[in-house]
Amino acid sequence: MELEKAHKEKEDKKAEKKKNESEKKRALKAANQTKTRRKQLCTVAQKKAPPPMMRQKMAWRRHTAEKRNGLK
C-alpha cells in the first residue's frame, strides 16, 4: 500500500516537472515573438551556433538586407 502511494507520488512529481518545463518553453517562445526580427535571429544563432563562415555569411546577408530596406 505504502509502496504504491510512494510510486504514485513519484509519478505525480515527474508529471508536474514535465508540465513546468513545457510551460517555461512556451513562455520563452512567447517572449521571443515579442522581440524584433534581428533579436530573434540572434537568439536562434546562439542556440545553434553555425560554423564561422556561415556566421559571416548570415551577418553579411542581414547587413545587405538592412541597407536595402533602409534600416540600420
Q: Which domain holds residue 69?
A: 36-72
pLDDT digits (tens, 9 = 90+) for 27-66: 877 776 666 666 666 655 555 666 667 777 888 888 788 8
> What is the three-class DSSP state of 16?
helix
Residues 22 and 47 in one domain: no
What does the pLDDT read at residue 13?
92
Record the pTM: 0.37
Residues 30 and 41 in one domain: no
- Is 62 exposed, middle or buried, given 0-12, 13-18 or 19+ CB atoms closer than 10 A? middle
Residues 72 and 41 in one domain: yes
Residues 22 and 44 in one domain: no
Residues 25 and 40 in one domain: no
Query: What total number of domains does the chain contain?
Result: 2
